[in-house]
Amino acid sequence: MNMTVLKTETTIAVPPPSAAVAAPVLRLKLPKARFTSKLMPRLSYVAARVVPPLVMIALLLTVWQILCSRPGATLPAPSKIWTEAYDLIVDPFFVAGPQDIGLGWRVLVSLQRVMIGYGLAGLIGIMLGTIVGQSVWAMRGLDPIFQILRTISPLAWLPISLAAFRDSQPSAIFVIFITAVWPIIINTAVGIRNIPQDYRNVAAVLRLNHFEFFAKIMIPSAAPYIFTGLRIGIGLSWLAIVAAEMLTGGVGIGFFIWDAWNSSRLSDIVVALVYIGLVGFVLDRIVALLATIVTRGTSAN
């Protein structure tokens, strides 16, 4: 019936001035949007987001420059870092010798270790978390153990894993794994435990088997929780790899810092810190983006 009302009203050619009732159905001609009128709000939006951090960075660099330019300053000023570590800053992917390579390469080596360790943690963490979340007995048996183990510092695992694997590469990966796995297990378990009884009833009425229930109800329902765990996990992994590499050596970004410290290249260390921060930020954003893509629908409810 709505439709007919609409039609009759739109056919009125000239609306009388008192046609306040008809106003919502009138289609007034919109002024043609100009290119600039569309672009300007967007530009100002971007500017409002980008300018404040840039101003703050400039401010911090200035203060740093002033503080470290005094005679007797222990740390290098930004200008000194720029001249001393110019090659590291400008080209992340240069190769000038077996131990003289760009920081991009080192970050990639570290990332590779993180990906293996973190991937394993994700796989095993989700599986264990599902078991703990689903079975009361598994929870009672395993939860206290997990709660104790998760408080152990990542580096404390390193000697044990070196003894077990007798090689630095798998040891570093193990440290990443053991660091990232706890938040994934715990959050997955909480997610599984919080599956609404309604969904379980639906599954029961449909007689879904265990595998179908896992794939079609459990994982999607717990996805927001699982991704919380995964996001905490990736942050912790990136924290742990730097520390682990300082001790195990090799090519990674962590060892680079240790090596630079031993040869008093403070400027290089600062550059490496910036790299680590940026990469950690990007990793976090990637997982967050994955989470929003995968859990659209679920998280809104």
Partner 1 sequence: MTAYLKIDHLSKTFTRGSQETEVLSDITLTIDQGEYVSIIGHSGCGKSTLLNIVAGLTPATLGCVLLEDREVNDPGPDRAVVFQNHSLLPWLTVYDNVRLAVDKVFAAKSRKERHEWIMHKLELVQMAHAKDKRPNEISGGMKQRVGLARALAMEPKVLLLDEPFGALDALTRAHLQDSVMAIHQKLGNTVLMITHDVDEAVLLSDRIVMMTNGPAARIGEVLDVPLPRPRKRLELATSATYLKCRQRVLEFLYERHRFVEAA
Q: Which of 16, 34, 98, 198 binds partner 1 (CB under 8 A)?
A: 198
Piece in contact with partner 1 (CB under 8 A), picked from 96-104, 161-169, 176-184, 293-301: 293-301
Q: Which long-range contacts (CB under 8 A, 24 or more apart) does 167-171 make?
A: 168/248, 168/249, 168/250, 169/113, 169/248, 169/250, 171/244, 171/248
* Shortest Cβ 139–partner 1 spacing (Å): 20
What b/e readout covers 93-129, taking b as 16+ CB neighbours within 10 angstroms?
eeeeeeeebbbebbbbbbbebbebbbebbbeebbebb
Of 80, 150, 193, 216, the one binding partner 1 by CB under 8 A: 216
Nearest C-alpha neighbor of 107 from the set 262, 286, 257: 257
The contact mask relative to partner 1 for 222-241 (x = CB under 8 A, - = no) is -x------------------
Whether the CA torsion 262, 266, 267, 268 is positive or negative: it is positive
Q: Which is nearer to partner 1, 133 or 235 (CB)?
A: 133
Q: Which two tokens stand for residue 46?
A: 């971007």
Among 217, 226, 246, 251, binds partner 1 (CB under 8 A): 217
* Exposure string over 60-81, b if 16+ CB within 10 A, otherwise e: eeeebeeebeeeeeeebbeebb
Taking CB under 8 A as the rule, does residue 31 contact partner 1? Answer: no
Q: Least distance in Å: CB of 207 to partner 1?
A: 6
- What is the total count of residues that contact partner 1 (CB under 8 A)? 22
Residue 300 Cβ, how far from partner 1 at the closest point, in Å?
Answer: 5
DSSP letter at 101?
A: B
* Comparison of 199 and 258: residue with beta carbon closer to partner 1: 199
Task: Compute the distance between CA of residue 255 and CA of residue 268 in angstroms, rounded to an integer.
Answer: 12
Judged by DSSP in three states, 95 sits in strand
**Which of 25, 68, 208, 239 touches partner 1 by CB under 8 A?**
208
Query: Among residues 205, 210, 211, 293, which is the contact residue for partner 1, using CB under 8 A?
Result: 205
Q: Show contacts with partner 1 in window 120-149 (CB under 8 A).
A: none
- The answer to whether 204 contacts partner 1 (rule: CB under 8 A) is yes
Residues that bind partner 1 (CB under 8 A): 196, 198-199, 201-202, 204-208, 212, 216-217, 220-221, 223, 295-298, 300-301
